[in-house]
Amino acid sequence: MPVILTERGERVRSKSEKILADHFDRKCILYKYEKPLLLEGYGTVYPDFTFFSRKLRKEIYWEHEGMMDKAEYACAAVKKINSYQQNGIYPGERLILTYETEQETLNSKVVSGLVEKYLGI
């Protein structure tokens, strides 16, 4: 597995996570990468990015599901997303989701729109 570093030198798991981390960094959005989160009935997950919302006074999570064209990966992703919801963490509220397949890559306009809508930048 190749070493992928963000502009600030943080090691991430994928090129898309690098793109996201660098975007947040350029917008001066503080985040924690893969901060452990215990989901009852599922176990510990490591959301790609965790932010603290001053407006909500709660943490917001960003999950990038990068291999949705791979059946096993997609099934695991759906199970994890359902688990977030069973723990009261809903997409469009405290869970931001982006998706990718080999044919449909991460869209920077979508990322910018999500950042503006949910992270206030």
pLDDT of res. 47? 98
At a CB cut-off of 8 Å and minimum separation 6, what does 76 contact?
Answer: none
Q: What are phi and psi of 61, to 5 degrees?
A: -115, 145
**Amino acid in position 85:** Q
pLDDT of res. 121? 54
How much is the pTM? 0.93
Per-residue pLDDT tens digits of the chain, which is 121 residues long: 789 999 999 999 999 999 999 999 999 999 999 999 999 999 999 999 999 988 888 999 999 999 999 999 999 999 999 999 999 999 999 999 999 999 999 999 999 999 999 887 5
At a CB cut-off of 8 Å and minimum separation 6, what does 3 contact?
Answer: 11
Distance, CA of 41 to CA of 18 (rounded, Å)? 30
pLDDT of res. 120? 77
**Amino acid in position 12:** V
